[in-house]
A = this chain, B = another copy of it.
Amino acid sequence: MNKVVTFGEVLMRIAPLGNKKLKQTNQLEYYFGGTEANVAISLSQFGNQTQHVGAVSNDFVGDAAKSFLQKFGVNTSAIHNSHHPLGLYFLEVGAVMRSSTIAYNRAHSAFSNIDPKKINWEEILKDCQWFHWTGITPALSLNAYQALKEGLTVANQKGIPISADPAYRKDLWNYGKDAKKILNELVGLSTIFIGGPNEINELLSTKFSYENDDFIKGSKLLLKKHTNIQKVFDKTRKSINANWHKIQARMWNGLEFLETNELEITHVIDRIGTGDAYAAGLIHGLLHYDDTKALKFANASCAIKHTIEGDANLVTEQEVISIIEGNLSGRIIR
């Protein structure tokens, strides 16, 4: 069984039920998530061995966070405890033309204060077949950035494939470092790029459009700049409104452009974590299938996540395969 290692902040999501605003009710529901942990959980459901690395609070909240990952089969032995609180966010869920709104409380979290020295990357990556990181992590703090960089360095030394999802969230970069420089450095230590024109523009200061032609041009430029990167995987989303989306995946593998069919989600259940579902699907696909099937698997994984409550994709490999095979009618399975 393949082992995938992810590194990043475990976040608690707290939300009123349904489409209520916080002040309308005294009832809340919570999930644990965080983009990299979501990838680990999803890969676990697909049948892979996974380990998540990070830090949680040294109280019953951090304990519950680890229990949550364990429930879904993720190894938590390299998640450290800290006297800082667990990062969290509140969510009010919108509908149709009303946006969902997120209020973060993560600036001084256990993960932001992670001590890079406490992470034994040699040990963790010993039997690892894939390492995954996102642009959220280096945005959070110097400590987080340094810990990630060390992990990527060790992974490189071991020749482990590394997927980078360098989403740039401007509001998070508050510790005085230049996002572009750091993200380029870390992408320079990776082998698979998950992103499209937006992310490429951010890294290369280019202005590629969302069109396929520009995606290909941008990807070529990225591969030229970062020769370690072998393939570029992207997805496009058309949002009719908050409840009705269309998803399509595309890739440039250095030689050819591939594109999947569009999948339509007419009744979105939960939008959060769909990008992570794409990444997890892609990693699973690249570990087990060829590029074409991997891309389809990633797209279908992303699409079906829209029907799952919570941050992480909890479907099995078989459920995703079934979508690839064209079973879109959602018949009851008895």
Of all chain B residues, the one with the shortest Cβ separation from A315 is B98
B269 and A330 contact, CB distance less than 8 A: no
Task: Spell out A's residues near B (CB within 8 Å).
Answer: 14, 18-31, 57, 59-61, 63-64, 67-68, 70-73, 84-86, 88, 90, 92, 94-105, 107-108, 169, 171, 239-244, 263, 265-267, 269, 271-272, 303-304, 306-310, 314-315, 319, 322-323, 327-334
Query: Which residue of chain B has the shortest Cβ distance to A243 in the bound complex?
Result: B267
Residues of B within 8 A of A88 (CB): 105
In the complex, the answer to whether A98 meets B24 with C-beta atoms within 8 Å is no
- CB <8 Å contact, A334 and B94: no
> Which B residues are CB-close (under 8 A) to A108?
107-108
Q: Which B-chain residue is minimally distant from A63 (CB atoms)?
A: B23
What chain B residues lie within 8 Å of A169 (beta carbons)?
A: 334
Instruction: Select the residue from A23, A68, A263, A271 with max chain B CB neighbours within 10 A.
Output: A23
User: Which residues does chain B contribute within 8 Å of A171, judged by CB atoms?
Assistant: 334
Q: A98-B308, A263-B97, A265-B96 are in contact. Are A332 and B272 (CB under 8 A)?
A: yes
| Residue in B closest to A15 when the chains form the complex, CB atoms | B28
Residue from A100, A108, A327, A330 whose CB has the most chain B CB atoms within 10 Å: A330
Closest chain B CB from A156 CB (angstroms): 31
- A331 & B99 in contact (Cβ 8 Å cutoff): yes
Contacts of A60 in B (CB 8 A): 21-23, 90, 92, 101, 103
Other-chain contact of A267, B23, B95, B332 (Cβ < 8 Å): B95
Q: Which of B61, B95, B241 contacts A329 (CB 8 A)?
A: B241
Enumerate chain B residues within 8 angstroms of A101, measured Cβ to Cβ. 59-60, 332-333
Cβ 8 A contact of A59, one of B57, B103, B323 = B103
The answer on a CB contact under 8 Å between A23 and B64 is yes
Alpha-carbon separation in the docked complex, A327 to B99 (Å): 9
List chain B residues, Cβ under 8 A from A18: 269, 309
CB A231 to nearest CB in B, in angstroms, measures 26
Choice from B57, B94, B331 contacting A307 with Cβ under 8 Å: B94
The minimal Cβ–Cβ distance linking A235 to chain B, given in whole angstroms, is 15
Residue contact A333 to B28, C-beta cutoff 8 Å: no
Contact A22 B240 (CB under 8 A): no
- By Cβ-Cβ distance, the 6 closest A-B pairs, closest first, are A242-B330, A71-B71, A59-B103, A85-B105, A95-B307, A23-B64
B97 touches A303 (CB 8 A): yes
Tell whether, in the assembled complex, residue B98 and residue A319 are in contact, meaning their CB atoms are under 8 Å apart: yes
A and B contact pairs by CB, cutoff 8 A, 22 listed:
A14-B14, A22-B60, A23-B68, A24-B31, A27-B28, A70-B73, A85-B103, A94-B307, A94-B330, A96-B266, A96-B267, A97-B328, A98-B315, A99-B322, A105-B105, A107-B108, A171-B334, A239-B330, A240-B329, A241-B329, A242-B329, A272-B332
Bound Cα distance from A101 to B62, whole angstroms: 13
- A316 vs B263: C-alpha distance when bound (angstroms): 34
Contact (Cβ within 8 A) A95 B23: no
Q: Which residues of the partner chain B approach A330 to less than 8 Å between Cβ atoms?
A: 94-100, 239, 241-243
